[in-house]
Structure 1
Amino acid sequence: MVAQIVNKNQPNFTSIFDKFPPQSMAAEEAILGGIMLDPEAMGRVTFLSPEHFSLKPHQIIFDACKQLHEKNLPTDLMHVAVWLSDRIDYTTQNKITLLESIGGQLMLAQLAEVTDAINIDQYGYLILKKYALRCGISVGYEIIRLAQEFNP
């Protein structure tokens, strides 16, 4: 009887670990596309950092836009593509450019087709919210890991 009560009160971790982390692909794509279409858009999302984006290619593209913006260079499709093609992705074993690692010019072109920059600042706040939730989940995972390692 005691075993049944204990098991009944145990959390079901499998359902937690099977879910995607909080993210908004639509908002991320809208921001990246908007930045490449509207020269003023990057100035409206300077509060974002690459790590706020959930996908590595989105992080790389945003970083390129941010660095171009900081140098007072355009963040249009061509400038972003050239910036990415001039840099090597050292996180891969093969020496490929950052442009290749994000999926090439086709990826950039698809992002530029998706959106406009009208609500880009609101999309940025949505991305921040999703990032904060992912951070909370990460802390939770760390607590679980530490609890599993703890042996009094």
Structure 2
Amino acid sequence: MNKVKQMLLKIMEIAKRFVIARKNIAVRFINVLFFTIAWKIVSVCIFFLTLFQFIYLFFTTKHSEAIKTLSHKLTVYSYKIMRYITLNENTKPYPFGRMPEEIEPAEETDLSTPVPEKNESPKPEPVKAEPVQDDKPAAKPLDDKKSEDDNDTQEAIILDHKS
């Protein structure tokens, strides 16, 4: 009976070490599940902000700076969440960490000028090729008669057509 108790205690000790060693992995997995839900919510918010921005832009012909700033911050936050979810970053995003800083500044967009049509684009000037000077004599046209050399083989002459 003592041997059975000792074996059970050993098995319990091994299982305990196994669980303790993987505790951080389990906690990280729970955090990843939480941040996956948060990422889905943030991506839906970005979608609706973008939709609202285009509607606003359509009616006013100017973008809303407040919406642009908020959507840019949410985009950076979404990027940080994805880095944490995919195990590329160990720092927990907001609300467990600090709100991420701006990675790169937002570009200025000017949609007041129309997009040039295909016909309006400037055409590149054609490159003029310089005439090539050949040191070879001009090729003679082939006749149905035998050549002057009386050779049985005739070489095919490819004339260079230049304009």
Bucket of the pairwise TM-score, normalised by the shorter protein:
0.3 to 0.5
Q: Which has the larger radius of gyration?
A: 2
Answer 1 or 2: higher relative contact order, Cα 8 Å, separation at least 6: 1
Structure with higher helix content: 1
TM-score of the pair, normalised by structure 1: 0.35
Q: Provide TM-score, normalisation by structure 2.
A: 0.33
